[in-house]
Structure formats: C-alpha cells, structure tokens
Structure 1
C-alpha cells in the first residue's frame, strides 16, 4: 500500500514543478548548461528511512552546501574557541559573496558566507599523510554514506572565473585571518565546492546532522555533538544569507543552499530534507527548493517551534493477534481457525507524541504491512500529544486501507484521534480496551473464514466449551441441577464485590464485563456470547466478583448456583471432581492466553 507521505511528496512535486521562476547559475560556465527542469525531493528520517521523488540521483556540484560540513570539521579539529578567533557566528545580513569582515580585525561574520568559508577551509590541516582536500572530501563522504568525488571540469572553471573569491582570500591574508599563502586555500575551496553529490546524498548528510552526527544508514559517528550543535546553530541564523530571517519564519529549520541548485534543511532529532532544482532566486537559492521547504514545513508541521521534541519511532510494539488473543473461551474448531488466520489481524501499539517523526514511523508501519493483514488495530492508549498532521495522514491511511479491502480498528478510550474520521463513509470501530478490540477482530475472522463456524446465537448446555471434557451423561446430570435465568438488555447480572454466586452458562445473547477505570469511568473488558461462562473466577478472588456483568440484548442462562455446587460436592463427589477439573482446564486455558499476551508485551 502506498504511504500517504509518498503520495504527498508526489503531489507537491507535480505542483511545484510548475514554478518556472529563476535561472541556473551562469557565473561559472561549466555549470551554465544544466537542465532547468531537473527537480528532486528527498526526505531521510533519523532511523534511515528514505522518501524520494523526481531527479534524486542526478549529480550536481555541492557548492555552498559544503560550508557547514567544512566548518564542522574545523570545529572538530581545533575546538570552538580556536575557530571563533578566526570566524564569528553573527548573521551578516549580506549576500553570500559580500566582504562582511569586522572592522579592524578582518574577522568574517560567519562561516556560511564565502569569506568565512574560505577561513574555515584554511583551518583544516593535512593529517597522517592525508591532504587537506582529501580530509574534507572524506568528511563529506562519511556524511553521505558513500565515496564522493570532485568534478574536475567545474573545478577548472571555478579556478578560472572565481576572481571575487581570490580577492576575498587575499584580503583575509592581509588581516592574518588566513595565516599562510592563500593560493592553496583558494584552490582547495574551489575543489570542495566542486564535489559531486545528488539529492539523496544531501538528504543523508542533513539526516546525519539531524541524528547528532551519526549517519543513520552506516551507523558511523561522523561528527560529535558539540561541533554539530554549533554548525546547526550557525545554519539557523546564517545559512540562507540575507534571506535568513524570512527562512526561519516560514520554514523554521537550520538550512543551507548552494548555487548548484541544492538546498538542505535539518530538523534535529527527526529528519533531513534535500531538494535539487537549478533555477535560483536573487539570493542565490533554489526557487523550487525554497517553495518545497516551505510547503513541507507548513503541511508536515516541521517548524522547530511545532516539532521541538526529539523525534523517535512511535511504534511501541507490533504483533498479530495469534500471539496475544482476546482470552475469550471458544470452541476447539474456532480456536484452530484463529490459529490459522490470526496473522490477518495485527495490533500496532503506539506511545509518546505523534508529531512528524512519530507520525512518519506510524504511517510507514501501517503502509508496509503484509497484504494478508486485513484488520489493523491501532492502540493509542499511550499516546500523549497528537499533531494535526497525524490526523490528516491517518485519515489518508484509513482511506487507502479501505480501498484495499482492509479495516482500521482503534483502541482509543480518550478519543485521541476522533477528529481524524469525522467525514468517513462508515464508523471506524473503536474500543476502550485491547481485549475488546481483539475480540471484535476474532469474530470478524470467524465470520469471514469459518463458514461452518459462525458464532452461534444459541447453544444448548452440552455445547458449552467449558464442559467439553465431560460425558453427555455427566453434562445432563449437571443440567438437572441448574436453574434457568433470563435477563433483558441492560440488566445487571453480577456486580463487583458480590460473593460467589455460582457458574453461569450463556445459552443465547451476550453479556459485557466491565470495571471502574482510574478516572471513575466504567471500562469495558470483554463481551461474552453464547457458549461462554462466567462467575467461576470469583472463587480465585476471595469468593468475590471482580467485574460487573451486564446483559446486552435478551440473554438466557443456565446457572449452577453456589448452593447447587455445595450439594453436588456432598452427594456426588466423582461428578463434582469432574466439574472442577473441567472448570480448572478452562481457567488454565484463559491464563495461558493471558501469559502469551504478557510475553508479547515484555518481549517488545
């Protein structure tokens, strides 16, 4: 099933492709002949999942997007104080190639403008026989998760036409900001700007910054958190040059653009976004890159004010119902059917906040479920905050599921996602407890796959599973000691705290069991139908009823009262023993189901 996130990216890619403003960068001749229609979007999560659409594998030169990564390498080599002596961290308010040097000292305003980037490059030294430019390219490669290379044609063109950068380098040398011959610095700076990347590379580089310096694909710690923190801080205030104020207001993520057409954005702890489109605006940034970033930030609530918490998977656990059944006692044939088809119903437990990162992990899980999964139970009981984007995406997931002939079921006692389904064509089954939701799914599976096992509306006493170990003769002897009871819809059959009243065998209709929840509201636990029993578990609770049992519809019952059981024990010890063995077997079956459910929760 297609993920709503993939569908969304495809939709905005089509829409933003219609933007024809801007022109590709032409100051460097080797970059002037690029196809202006190239357009790719790539989104990588901090756990390494990639969404991509368009021209995401088309290579282009990294240009100024190299600056934060070289700056980070200088910080890692020398520490913050040493680097701060050479380059400041203040927004310049100027375009990328302005002089912006402090009066008297010549210190560049920040490492994102060209003067500051040249300074950062000069601070990188050869080490262990590895040249400066090789160390720089190795760092980019570690961020991208693959070996990158330099485009020699673009480098030669930069070298021939980069007169302003030469002038800046010599000016920096005059202030002793660049301490040695500026020519090798200029050449290495041009080389770093000529490194070839694609949109996927940039999204991984951005995701590595978002993941505190650890590449989410390779698992390698490329950069420690202290330089990453500084890099992202400077990208926030300075990465978009004289458009930084507008960017942080409308997009709200640390970012960097390059005249090659690339744009990266970083949402720390959650995602890295990269866009590739060559036509640039007057600030030297990609027109479609800015439009895409603004749309994603608004639609997916990626602005740092909205998505301030560290993002992690919202999936607490995922398992099919055969691993954790409802605990409802069914006939052997029905149990066999559920063992064969239980994998068709899956429980997905969520926890934490459903902001973008949590929502993405949820959507990814639901969209990637095996085609055989027909019923998806979404357990929302441990979810705290829910963003609007979660509502929209989950509604789309549900539409896709219905189109595939599947059903979404909610465990949502608090109504956490009620608004997401206001306009759906039919109700989304919603339950207060996991047991009730699983029971509903079990019944659906029995109805669908058990043509001869549809849940009976009426049984006789001999068909009650709890008595299946007994002979027909013994069952009849017990039936002779039972009383007939009838209840109407809503009648309370047993209340919490009542003493043991006997064993109730349901012949027709159904009952619900419930307890008072922590907020004082009644929480439904189970629904019991024809053939099932209740009442006997009170014997394990100081002879006291632990739940309230209420009739749903008209109910007929055979009741073996506490007095009848007492007389049976004195008059027919053998039959009493067989009864207790049968009830014990039934109780152990329920305990086994409970333990299996508990094991699933502990494992996950």
Structure 2
C-alpha cells in the first residue's frame, strides 16, 4: 500500500519541479554546469526509515553542509570551551564567504560561515590518523555508508578558492589558526568535495535529530553535547544572511550548500534533505527552500509547534485472535475466526498524534500484509490529533478503501475531524464488528444465524429429539424490548433462558465501575451460571434490540426432576458441559470496561 507520506512527497515534488528560478553556483568551475532539472526530497525518521522522491540517489558535493558535521567532530575532539576560544556562536548576518571576524581577536562569528568552518578544520585532531581521513570517516558514519572524495572537484576548488585562502591566512595572522594554513585549507576543500546523495543527507540530518546516533546503524557518531551545540548554531547561523526569515518561516535548524543540497533537523523526530542545484541570492537551493517551507507548514514541524520527542505513538499491534470479543459463537464460527482473525489488526496509539507519531503509525499500517482486510486504530489514549495527523489518517483511509480494505477507529473522545470514518466507542465493539465482518465475508449463513430453533441449540446437542421436545413443551415464550434488564445481579436462579433471536449482554459492577463481560446471541443460553453462585444471578443481563426468548423456568425444572429424573439428569449434564466451556473462555479473556 502506498504510504500517505509517499503520496504527499510525490504531490509536493510535482508542484515544485517546475520552479525554474535561480542559477547554479558559478564560483567553482566543476559545478557551474550542474543540471537544473535534477530534484530530490528525502525524509529520514529517528528510527531509520527514509521516504524519498526524485533523484535521491544522484550524487553531488556536500559543500557547506559539511560544516555542522566538522564542527561536531571538533567539539568532541577538544571540547566546547576550547572550540569557543577560537569560534564564536553569534549570527553574522553576512553571506557565507564574508570576512566576519572579530575586530580585535580575529575570531570568526560562527562555524557555519567559511571563516569559522576553516577554523573548525584546524581544530580537528590529526595525530594518529590523518585529519581528512577522520573527517571522511565521521561523515560516512553519519550517512551510514562509505562516502568518497571527488578528486577533480577538490582540485577545482583548490585552484579557484582564492578568497578562502585569504581568509585562512588572515586567521593565521590572528593565531586563530596556529599552524600552517595550507594543509588546513586542503582538508577544508576536501571536506566540501565529499560526494553525497539526498538519501545520505537525510540520514545525516536524522543522526543530528537522534542525539548523534545514526538511526539505521545505531552507531553513536557524535556526543549529545556536540549535537546540542551544533543544532543551536545551525538554528541561528546555518542559513547565513537568510537565517531570520528561515527560522520564522520554517523553524528548523538547517544548513544549505552551494552544491544544491539543504538539510533541516527536527530534534527527536526527523531529518529532511533536499537537492536542487539552482540557488537563490543567499546561496541556498530555490526548490530546497520552497519545499522546506511547505513541509514545515503542512506537517506542523516548526519547532514552536513540534518541540516534543518523536517517540512512536504505537503501543501495541495485534490481530483480533489475541483479544476475542465477548460474543459467544458457534464452534464453526470460532474455527473460522481462528483461521481468518489475522486479517483484522488493531493498532493501539497513545500520546499526541503530531507528524512523527502519526508517521510511525502510517508506516506500520503500510507494512501490514496485503491480506489484512480490516485495520482498527485505537485512539482511546490519544490526547491530541494535529492537522497533519488528520490528513494522514484520512489519506490512509482512502488508500485502504481503494484496495478493498477498511479502516475503523476506537475513540472515547470524539475527534470531530475524523467523524467521517467508521468509529466505535470501545475496543470490544470494534472487535465484534471485525468478527461479524469476517464471518460475513468468509463464513456461511449458519455461522451467524438471526433465528435459532430450540432443537438447534448447541447446548442441547447431546440430547435426543425426544428429550428436546419434552424440554420445549415445558418452556415459556417471551419477547422483550431493547434495553430492558432481563436478569439482575443477586436474583435467585430463575431458570435457563434460550435466545431464539436478538442479543443480550452481561455486565457487573467492579470497584464502582460497570464492566461488560459477554454478548450472547441467537442459539445461546444464560441463567444457568447462577447455580454456581449460591443460586444467585452473578451478572446483570440486558437486552440489545428486540429479544425473543424461551425460558425453562426453575419451577419447570423442579417438576421435570420429579416426573422424569432421567431426562432431567441428561439435561443438566448437557447444560453443565456448555456452561463449563463458557466459563473456561471467560477466564482466558480479561473483562473489558463498559463504555
């Protein structure tokens, strides 16, 4: 089944692929002829799942998107205080290649501009392993695969990077860089020339979102302290002289690169990556900025709205064979439900359904086997359903319907935005619906009879026709309106009730709360269990709809025992066997709160 998120990204891609504004970066000859038609979007969750559309496997140079990852490596190498001595954390308000150095100290304004990034490279240790090798290892660990350096692009950068050379030597003059700046520059150019694709960048961004742990591999790439500082600087400085507008519109820590890539991070939830080589006046991808604004708005990702951890909203996922309803079925129906019950799944959700939590649920449903026909979302423990969650659930409903499958909800609180969907007030009611649906689709009419004659009751199956005819001659027939109490808790044994048509449910009060135990329908009996409770009715029995009964009263049974003890004994053996089967089933199933 197509995921609603895949559908959303495909629609967004189609909306923006025709956006033709911007030009490719001309400052590096090897990049000047990049193909403007290329476009990709990828989103990686903190558990490592990646959604992508477009040219997501096309490689391009990482360029300035390398800066946050180099910065985190330096922070882990020498610590925050040592890095802060050399690099400030203030927004420069300038373009990426401006000379934003403190007047007296020469300290770069932040690590996201070129001057700060060159300084960052100088702070990365290279005693035991060559510095660039460590940088490449670090980038590769965040991407989850081995990345490579583009040697020809590196040569082009090194040949034309005069301004960066000037910055490096100016930094050396202030002792911000304390060694020969040439090897530092070479490693900086190499770091910018590492090849990535949009899929890689999404996972690299998700590594930052996941507190430094690569979501797919589980490798701790960087410390949480380094991630915190890096994301903070990305928030205020990652988009250079467009940072204010970015944070107002998108509200995510981000970093762009002149290679056409852009990443954004929602801590605890996801990493976003976009590639399109045409740049705006700030050096950021035109389509990348447009897509980020749309995604943040549509999915409610702005940090002001989404500043909660992206824990999965899923508590449980199971099929209905694990939570049978309280309806007693015929043996044939029970066997069929045992065989087909896996075709109806319940997914219990909890907390707030924002983007990340809903995404985990949508993915869970999308990955169900194709033969699962019924999907029940249990929302009883859900506190809030965000707009994007509503849209994703409705889209999920449309996709399931198109495949001939059905989505239903269980909700105590009524979420009005979801009122168009089939909904139940309790899980038990939803399971009863699922069982009925499966029996109708895969069973035979006799498995769900609307009317049952006394001679066809399973409880009387051990008896011969003469015994059954004798019993029926002693029975009284009655009809009861919907919602009437047929038997009350504590009443003395009143006989055995045979349901010819209609339904009843049994309930009791436990710890001050009503608890529903079972639903009985045509072909089933009640009342006999009172004989096992000191002769008193242990539950309340209430009619559901029009109820048609025949009752073998306590007085009629007494008369039968006196006049025909053999028939009475055979009757009680049959009833006892049936009652024992019912009690055994009830012990296995936990009682469910009446709602």
Same fold (TM over 0.5): yes
Deviation at 1:131, TM superposition (A): 0.3
Structure 1 residues 169-248: aligned runs within 5 Å: 169-248=168-247
Which residue pairs with 2:589 in the alignment?
Answer: 594
- Does 2:394 correspond to 1:395? yes
Which residue pairs with 1:2 in the alignment?
Answer: 2
Structure 1 residues 560-571: aligned runs within 5 Å: 560-561=552-553
Which residue pairs with 1:108 in the alignment?
Answer: 108
My pick for the range that moved more, 113-122 or 473-482, is 473-482
Q: 1:98 to 1:555 in 2, by over 3 A?
A: same
Deviation at 1:550, TM superposition (A): 3.2
Deviation at 1:453, TM superposition (A): 2.9
Q: Secondary structure at the match of 1:322?
A: helix
1:446 to 439, 444, 461: 439
CA RMSD, aligned part only? Answer: 2.5
Q: Secondary structure at the match of 2:51?
A: strand
Which residue pairs with 1:419 in the alignment?
Answer: 417
Asked if the contact 1:485–1:556 (Cα under 8 Å) also holds between the matched residues in 2, the reply is yes
- Does 2:325 correspond to 1:326? yes
Q: Distance in 1 between matches of 2:558 and 2:228?
A: 75
Which residue pairs with 1:425 in the alignment?
Answer: none
Q: Secondary structure at the match of 1:305?
A: helix
Asked if the contact 1:324–1:593 (Cα under 8 Å) also holds between the matched residues in 2, the reply is no
Which residue pairs with 2:313 in the alignment?
Answer: 314
Which residue pairs with 1:305 in the alignment?
Answer: 304
Deviation at 1:477, TM superposition (A): 4.9
Unmatched tracts of structure 1, length 5 or more = 423-427, 599-604
- Does 2:570 correspond to 1:578? no
Q: Distance in 2 between matches of 1:542 and 1:33?
A: 91
Which residue pairs with 1:431 in the alignment?
Answer: 424
Which residue pairs with 2:146 in the alignment?
Answer: 147
Q: Distance in 1 between matches of 2:249 and 2:368?
A: 35
Deviation at 1:413, TM superposition (A): 2.3
My pick for the range that moved more, 486-495 or 476-485, is 476-485
Deviation at 1:21, TM superposition (A): 0.6
Asked if the contact 1:377–1:411 (Cα under 8 Å) also holds between the matched residues in 2, the reply is yes
Which residue pairs with 1:50 in the alignment?
Answer: 50
Q: 1:159 to 1:483 in 2, by over 3 A?
A: same
Q: Secondary structure at the match of 1:48?
A: coil
Which residue pairs with 2:121 in the alignment?
Answer: 121
1:214-239 residue CA offsets vs partner (Å, 9 max, x unmatched): 11111111112111111111111111
Which residue pairs with 1:65 in the alignment?
Answer: 65
Which residue pairs with 1:528 in the alignment?
Answer: 520
Q: 1:377 to 1:458 in 2, by over 3 A?
A: same
Q: Secondary structure at the match of 2:322?
A: coil
Which residue pairs with 2:253 in the alignment?
Answer: 254
Asked if the contact 1:38–1:278 (Cα under 8 Å) also holds between the matched residues in 2, the reply is yes
Which residue pairs with 2:545 in the alignment?
Answer: 553
TM-score, normalised on structure 2?
0.93
1:395-440 residue CA offsets vs partner (Å, 9 max, x unmatched): 1111111111111122112213x42244xxxxx3322222221111
Asked if the contact 2:499–2:524 (Cα under 8 Å) also holds between the matched residues in 1, the reply is yes
Which residue pairs with 1:77 in the alignment?
Answer: 77
1:156-190 residue CA offsets vs partner (Å, 9 max, x unmatched): 11111111111111111111111111111111100
TM-score, normalised on structure 1?
0.91
Q: 1:542 to 1:213 in 2, by over 3 A?
A: farther
Structure 1 residues 332-411: aligned runs within 5 Å: 332-411=331-410
Q: 1:83 to 1:338 in 2, by over 3 A?
A: same
Asked if the contact 2:463–2:570 (Cα under 8 Å) also holds between the matched residues in 1, the reply is no
Deviation at 1:18, TM superposition (A): 1.4
